[in-house]
Structure 1
Amino acid sequence: MALANTGTESGRNGREASREAVAFLARSEHRVRVLELLGAGEQTRDELKAETSATRVTLSRVLGDLEDRGWVTRGATRDRYVLTPFGETIYRDFGQLLDTVTVGRRLPGMIDRLPEEWFGFDLRHLVDADRIASESADPHGASRAVANAITDADDVRALVGCFTTLPLYAYAEALRTGAAPNAEVVYDEETTELSLKNDAITDQWRRIEEEQSIYYSVDRQYPCTVDLLDDEVVYVSLGRDRGSGFDVLRSTNPVVVDWARERFERERADAVPLSERMDEPTP
């Protein structure tokens, strides 16, 4: 029993020491900045001083503290510094934590509705995403911005989990003027049903398909709408819990773009032309 208690206490003390180490780093902007600079490669003491607001005395103390913890070591000469392999891990993981916290602060009221498991990427990759807000006088302003971006693009691939007619009618107008992008759109189960049961919407997409087949359907639901434009920009649209309109994020992060491309390719491979659903019996 004594041995078991000793092990438990040792583990508890270890966790407390780890939390203290994180707090040690987070409390000092100079420590974080030095790790950031060294994360880009070996630096001299003078180079570090030039890139920080720290005095020479403060910088010496910071470097000494980081060396003591095994996060930084001397480089090719004694006046040069470099991250240790463990220091590189600390810098990477701390940066990821900061990105995650930043996303939560930038997207209040939206962060808990983002389908992280369906996304397949960490929400921290949305740290630089732009939130497109709708004005109260125009609750569909964000969706209108997406529709305009779609018609300005050359290539569009979309997974539709929350329906708005704006992209549909904007695309029809672009097609009429000869400026429509190449497009493929996959509707989920719910938006497929809407597209088949609403006569005005059905007439619109069928007129579009007289020119080219672009609409497809799957037998599952999507938690949001994802538009991938020109293989460079991703728009994520989420229906609001209350009221009309959508919350929209715009991202150019390579991880998000790669995910959108791969997710679309998988969904498109399982999809059937929307027109084929017209002949299926109504449940």
Structure 2
Amino acid sequence: MESALEDIEFLALSANRVEVLDAVSSQPHTRRELEERTGASQPTLGRILHDFEDRNWVEQSGREYAATPTGRLVGAGFSDLREIVETEQRLRRVANWLPTETMTFDLRRLRDATITTPTQTRPNAPVQRVLELLRDAERVEIVSHAFNEQSMDVVRRRVDDGQQTFEGVFSASAIDAIADDSTLRERLRELLDLPGADLRIVDDEVPVAVTVADDVVHLFLRDDDGLLQASVDTDDETVVSWAHDVHERYWNAARALDAADLDD
């Protein structure tokens, strides 16, 4: 009897085998239908189906082939494994910076996420990505340990124009950094005075930098030294729901930011 690893290797070494098992797991197929779906030749399909029958992964009924219950189990498990590995490959270069201690969703939800990293020609690419989202959004929620000047300016202009509502929760250190700069302090005062903007402050550190721009979640990813390394954004519904929950939790625990908090 072959070991589990040998069966996994048998399946993984042939894209045609994977495609055939996936096809017959969803519904019965004739060999002609399998040929059209996979592009494999009839001799190749014959060998695949014969090997699957030997493993009791498929059974033939008339001209059609369908997966057995154990065949469907193998097919589903292999699809899960492939999805996990594909997700890991996409996230590999930024995985060390993900705030996984706060992320309560399955990382596979980030499989199709947009990953933005700095380049020589666009060293500020992650920031530019969130600015793109902010310029188009009608509703913005932020929970963060920082509030960069460019994001604040975009939000202030759009809220002032009546094109956006804004609810931001920031760490005290983020507000202190703005208050230390006279120009930024006045811009934040202007934002505070706008009826469409509501800002709150928490005294504890905030371990995430999450922006929800309408139905897109954007995460800034920083290294242990606080340097911006990348950003990730997605419209996955589960991640969006998680981000709303994070914002609500911090929002309920925060106090309103008052102009007095910006005094020298």
TM-score bracket relative to the smaller structure: 0.7 to 0.9
SS at match of 1:115: coil
**Residue in structure 1 matched with residue 217 of structure 2 by the alignment:** 234
| Correspondent of 1:34 among 20, 40, 46 | 20
Please, which of 49, 52, 66 is the counterpart of residue 38 of structure 2? 52
Q: Which residue of structure 1 aligns with residue 148 of structure 2?
A: 164
Mean alpha-carbon deviation: is it higher for 250-259 or for 203-212? 250-259
Q: For the Cα contact (< 8 Å) 1:116–1:122, is it kept in 2? A: no
Give the number of equivalent residue pairs.
263
Mapped to 2, the partners of 1:116 and 1:90 lie a distance apart of 29
Distance in structure 2 (CA, Å) of the matches to 1:152 and 1:118: 27
Cα 1:207/1:27, change in 2 over 3 Å = same
Partner of 1:207: 190
1:1-283 equivalences in 2 (<5 Å)? 17-74=3-60, 77-176=61-160, 178-188=161-171, 190-212=173-195, 213-231=197-215, 233-240=216-223, 245-275=228-258, 278=261
- Provide the residue aligned with 1:9 in structure 2: none
Change in CA separation of 1:263 and 1:94 when aligned onto 2, cut-off 3 Å: farther
Structure 2 CA distance for aligned equivalents of residues 222 and 257 of structure 1: 19
TM-score by length of structure 1 reads 0.78
Rounded Cα–Cα distance in structure 1 between residues aligned with 2:173 and 2:97: 19
Deviations 1:142-194 (A, max 9, x none): 21221131121112122213442221111112234x15312212224543443
- Relative to structure 1, is the Cα distance of residues 164 and 49 closer, same or farther in structure 2, using a 3 angstrom cutoff? same
Contact 2:143 2:209 in 1 (8 A): yes
Long gaps (5+) in structure 2: none
**Matching residue of 1:8:** none
| Alpha-carbon displacement from aligned partner over 1:59-93 (angstroms, at most 9, x marks no partner) | 1222232333343344xx43223334443343333
Match of 1:7 in 2: none
Gaps of 5+ in 1: 1-12
CA RMSD of aligned residues (A): 3.1
